[in-house]
Amino acid sequence: MNRVVLERRAEGAVAARELGDDGTTVGETRLPAGSLAGFVRERERVPVRWVWDDTTRWYPALLDAGVRVERCTDLRLTHAVLRRSPLVDQALLTAGETAAWDALQPVTPADPALFPLEDPADGLDPVAEHERQQAALAASTHPARLALLLAAESSGALVAAEMTHAGLPWRADVHERLLTELLGPRPPHGSRPAVLEALAREVRAALRAPELNPDSPGALLRALQSAGLAVEDTRSWTLEQLDHPVVGPLLEYKRLSRLLTANGWAWLDAWVREGRFRSWFVPGGVVTGRWASSGGGALSVPVQVRPAAVADDGWRLVVADVAQLEPRVLAGMSGDDAMAEAARAADLYEGMVAGGAVETRTQAKVAILGAMYGATRGGSGRIMPRLTRRYPRAIGLVEEAARAGERGEVVHTLLGRGSPRPTGAWAERAVALGEPAEVAGSREERDRHRRAWGRFTRNFVVQGTGAEWALCWLADLRNRLWRLGGAGPLQQRPHLVFFLHDEVVVHTPDHLADAVAEEVRRAAAAAGRLLFGAFPVDFPLDVSVVASWADAG
């Protein structure tokens, strides 16, 4: 399949350079300003991979023009992956431009408009960068895995742009009704809603602190202590342990205050337009490969307000999430037959009980989370030896990742995404043994940092490979949805509107909802095969076809 490299020129013109299979230029088209969308639409009739510096700089305008692309290489994202991958010879990526590619940031429509050719991306040569990346990939120790990662990462960039373009269907009227029921009518700017004000009065009375502002953690802590309560912080979890009349109203105040500040009327004003919630998804925004988001808190849309996410008339939401993604990924990447056997159950934790590793589901969950996060709250520590005997490869993999991190080494995901190098005095010690003591901090402090980094690398390999599975799922699903039909632009077909780590939401015409649900499952199975080949690890989904997101699950 040919590739076409797009490059901005002066005055809004674009150069499109066609590369043949061997990477040599076989043609070049110069496009005057305004003609790019038409060119891309035509060229898409024959399979092509677009190569561009950064999807956020090209794709939103194409989508606005009604043009969808099948595949791309996002050089900014693939550069970032390759630069950190321990499977790659970094010398092959090095050039005068490398630092500029390292520094390149995605853009959002909210960014101040850049004047033409003032964008740092415009000083970069995408053809040269693409050649360096292809050479590095070809020479890497696992070119097939890395190539899959680069393709998935780039597909993710397309999905992210498409999800922002389409937006998550959001009924402001439903949301406002919910706010009014819980908080009272919208108050004038700067004052508390009636329900919150009443709760604040109750809190002040219970603590005999008539001037208290319950939003001030410091003042609240002092008031609690003056009332004779032995607390060191004001977290909800701490307050729940207390027996005092203030606890009820204070917890309710915190719950509703959180709703008001995070997803209240101001949030609606800022983020919901024309029936859609539009935030920006940031592929590769997290070092592990998970996505970040920007604007509106898309990574934490509370269950409380999900009733407002409602499909259009004649449309449905297909909501799908993977049960226990990360333990399943751990079973697959470690090749642990016993854990894969447990993962054959719809509930992996029940599978562990059935396999005799533990007595109860709760034990199973605590133990697995402990193994993946490095936590051992009492009970988990006692179960670990049994877990290690029963699942030697799975537990061995995360333990080795933790030890490597503690030694200051880089670890990597199944497909080759590398962890960051540790910084700080303890890491320098780890690398250069025998340095003078007392360089920075106490021995205890250094050990604390070392163990914390071990917990990070322990989790990195699992979280990061989980993110790779999810990217493959998403990329395959995107293409399946497109093929499901329709002739119109994206928003008239089934399309993705939300993605969060192990969960997707598809907005689809009613009559295609069941077909979408089936494709979501097939895409999950395909992702499992892409990452783990024939190794038998299942990724069962919970799939709901609903009018409102709140009805899923």
CB 280 to DNA: min, Å? 8
Report 85-114 residues binding DNA (CB under 7 A). Answer: none
Cα(15)–Cα(61) distance, integer angstroms: 16
CB 266 to DNA: min, Å? 7
Question: What is the three-class DSSP state of 536?
Answer: coil
**Beta-sheet strand order (sheet of 541-546):** 495-499, 503-509, 315-322, 541-546
Alpha-helix residue ranges (DSSP H) falling in 277-360: 325-334, 337-342, 348-354
Asked if 293 interacts with DNA (CB under 7 A), we say yes
CB 68 to DNA: min, Å? 26
Residue in 184, 285, 335, 489 binding DNA, rule: CB under 7 A = 285
Q: Which residues sit opposite 42 in a β-bridge?
A: none
Asked if 410 interacts with DNA (CB under 7 A), we say no
Asked if 221 interacts with DNA (CB under 7 A), we say yes
Residue in 65, 182, 229, 452 binding DNA, rule: CB under 7 A = 452
Cα(219)–Cα(225) distance, integer angstroms: 10
With contacts defined by CB under 7 A, name the span among 115-123, 197-205, 290-298, 490-498 that binds DNA. Answer: 290-298
With contacts defined by CB under 7 A, name the span among 22-30, 51-59, 72-80, 371-379 that binds DNA. Answer: 371-379
Asked if residue 281 lies in contact with residue 501, where contact means CB atoms within 8 angstroms, the answer is no
Cα(339)–Cα(395) distance, integer angstroms: 10
Alpha-carbon torsion angle 356, 361, 365, 367, nearest 10: -40
Asked if 374 interacts with DNA (CB under 7 A), we say yes
Neighbours of 540 (CB within 10 A): 18
CB 438 to DNA: min, Å? 22
Cα(435)–Cα(429) distance, integer angstroms: 7
Residue in 171, 290, 412, 480 binding DNA, rule: CB under 7 A = 290
Asked if 295 interacts with DNA (CB under 7 A), we say yes
CB 256 to DNA: min, Å? 9
In SS3 terms, 212-268 reads as CCCCCHHHHHHHHHHCCCCCCCCCHHHHHCCCCCCHHHHHHHHHHHHHHHHHCHHHH
In SS3 terms, 268-299 reads as HHHHEECCEECCEEECCCCCCCCCEEECCCHH
Between strands 315-322 and 541-546, the pairing is antiparallel
Q: Closer CB to DNA, residue 164 or residue 463?
A: 463
Residue in 41, 142, 386, 501 binding DNA, rule: CB under 7 A = 501
Cα(6)–Cα(418) distance, integer angstroms: 29
CB 96 to DNA: min, Å? 29
CB 536 to DNA: min, Å? 23
The angle that helices 172-183 and 194-207 make with each other, rounded to 10 degrees, is 30
Alpha-carbon torsion angle 181, 186, 187, 193, nearest 10: 20
CB 188 to DNA: min, Å? 15
- Tokens 């990447």 correspond to 333
Neighbours of 277 (CB within 10 A): 24
Between strands 72-74 and 49-52, the pairing is parallel
User: How many chain residues are in contact with DNA, going by CB under 7 A?
Assistant: 57
With contacts defined by CB under 7 A, name the span among 65-73, 159-167, 235-243, 510-518 that binds DNA. Answer: 235-243
Give Cα separations from 451 to 327, 370, 385, 438, 454 (angstroms).
Answer: 22, 14, 20, 19, 5
Asked if 455 interacts with DNA (CB under 7 A), we say yes
Asked if 188 interacts with DNA (CB under 7 A), we say no
Q: Closer CB to DNA, residue 261 or residue 492?
A: 261
Residue in 167, 289, 296, 540 binding DNA, rule: CB under 7 A = 296
Asked if 384 interacts with DNA (CB under 7 A), we say yes
With contacts defined by CB under 7 A, name the span among 25-33, 140-148, 498-506, 513-521 that binds DNA. Answer: 498-506
Asked if 377 interacts with DNA (CB under 7 A), we say yes
With contacts defined by CB under 7 A, name the span among 42-50, 121-129, 210-218, 541-549 that binds DNA. Answer: 210-218
With contacts defined by CB under 7 A, name the span among 69-77, 89-97, 216-224, 330-338 that binds DNA. Answer: 216-224
Asked if residue 247 lies in contact with residue 239, where contact means CB atoms within 8 angstroms, the answer is yes
Asked if 234 interacts with DNA (CB under 7 A), we say yes
Report residue 496 CA to chain centroid gap: 15
Report 251-270 residues binding DNA (CB under 7 A). Answer: 254-255, 258, 261-262, 267
With contacts defined by CB under 7 A, name the span among 88-96, 278-286, 484-492, 533-541 that binds DNA. Answer: 278-286
CB 75 to DNA: min, Å? 22
CB 264 to DNA: min, Å? 9
Binding site for DNA (CB under 7 A): 213, 215-219, 221, 233-237, 254-255, 258, 261-262, 267, 279, 282, 285-288, 290, 292-297, 299-304, 321, 369, 373-378, 381, 384, 451-452, 455-456, 459, 463, 500-503
